Amino acid sequence: MTDIMTLASPVGWQLYRLGQLFRERKMKGSDKDYPPLSVTMGGIVPQLETAAKTDDGDNRKIVHVGDYVINSRSDRKGSGGISKHEGSVSLISIVLEPRNIDARFAHHLLRSPAFQEEFYRWGHGIVADLWTTRFTDMKNIRLRVPDLATQRLIADFLDRETARIDLLIKKKQNLVKLLGEKWQSVIEETINTGGRRTKLGHHVNILSGYAFASSEFSTDDDDIRLLRGANVSPDAIRWNDTVYWSRERLGEVSRFMLGAGDVVLGMDRPWISSGIRVAELTKNDTPALLLQRVCRIAPRKTIDKQFMKLLC
C-alpha cells in the first residue's frame, strides 16, 4: 500500500493515519440556520443555482470555516476543499475538522490526484458510478506530512501558483466565450440567410420526463438515478445532488431510461448565466431515468445531432 506523498517526501516527514489529523464533524442542522453550500471540483461555494434543492433541508451536515468537506460519491470525484463559509451540506458529504495539520496544506494535499485515487480505493459499491467512501474507511488512509512550519511554506507556494494559474484559466475562458458568441452569430446569420425556415418538431422526437412521486424517491445508491432539471447544466450533467428510483419498479417506467449519447434539456429556467441547459449524457451518466421538467431530444434522419445541439 502506497503512503500518500511518500514518493516525493523528504526524510523527516512523519507518517500518520488520516484519523489522527482530522476529526469528523457530525453535527446536523437546517439550511435555514446554516446557508446551503455546494461541494464542487473548485472547492466549497455557496449553493449553485443549478443544484437540486432537497425537501429535507432540516437534515444537513453543518460546516464551519476551516473545515475540509469532501463528496463521498465517485460520480463527484475530486469535489472537495477547505470551506471559507459557514453553512451546511448534503448528507452524502464528509465534513472534517483539521486537528494536527495546517488547513491550507490539507486543502492542497486532499485535493491531489494521488489522494483522490486512494480515497476512492477505500470505498465500497456495486458498480463504479455508485461507489461511496465513508469516514470509517478513509480515516485509515496513511499520510506522510512535514512539520507545521514546512506545511505553511508549501501552502504559501501552492496558493501563489494556483492563483496565477486560475487567472490564466479565467482569461482563456473569457476568450472561449467571445469565440462562442462569434460562432453563434455566424450560425444564426447562416440559418437566416442561406437555409429554409422549418419547425424543429419536424426534425426531432421529444420525450418529456415522467412525473415520479417525490414521496417515493429512494436514497439507496444501488437504485437508479433520476435525472432532474437541477442535474442539467450547459454541456454537462452534474450529479452533485442525486435521488433514486427503486430497481424493483423499473418495469413500469422503462421507456424513460436514458442512454449514453442522449441529449437532454432542462425546461425550468433553460437559460442561465453560463448558457442554455442542454447536455449530452456520457457513459458515466447512465443508468438514469428521465424526470419531469426535463426532456430528451432525439434527432431524426433529417438533422445531425451536433447541429441540433447548436440550434437548441
Asked if 35 contacts 85 with a C-beta cutoff of 8 angstroms, the reply is yes
Query: What is residue 7's predicted lDDT score, i.e. its pLDDT?
Result: 42
- State the Cα–Cα distance between residues 199 and 202, nearest whole angstrom: 6
- Amino acid letter for position 18: L
DSSP label at residue 291: B
What global pTM score does this model have? 0.54
**CB burial class (10 A; 0-12, 13-18, 19+) of residue 164?**
exposed
Asked if 253 contacts 225 with a C-beta cutoff of 8 angstroms, the reply is no
- With vertex at residue 137, the alpha carbon angle to CA 135 and CA 139, rounded to the nearest 5 degrees, is 65
- State the Cα–Cα distance between residues 1 and 167, nearest whole angstrom: 37
Query: What is residue 296's predicted lDDT score, i.e. its pLDDT?
Result: 94
200: closest CA among 258, 278, 254? Answer: 278
- State the Cα–Cα distance between residues 216 and 212, nearest whole angstrom: 8
What nine digits make up the cell of 223? 437504485
Spans of the chain, pLDDT less than 50: 1-2, 5-7
In the three-class reduction of DSSP (H, G, I as helix; E, B as strand; rest coil), residue 175 is classed as helix
Asked if 37 contacts 89 with a C-beta cutoff of 8 angstroms, the reply is yes
Query: In the chain, which residue ranges form alpha helices assigned H by DSSP?
Result: 18-21, 103-110, 113-121, 135-138, 148-194, 305-311
Beta strands (DSSP E) in 146-274 are: 204-208, 224-227, 232-233, 236-237, 244-245, 257-258, 263-266, 271-272
Enumerate the β-bridge partners of residue 257. Answer: 289
Asked if 27 contacts 96 with a C-beta cutoff of 8 angstroms, the reply is no
What nine digits make up the cell of 112? 491531489
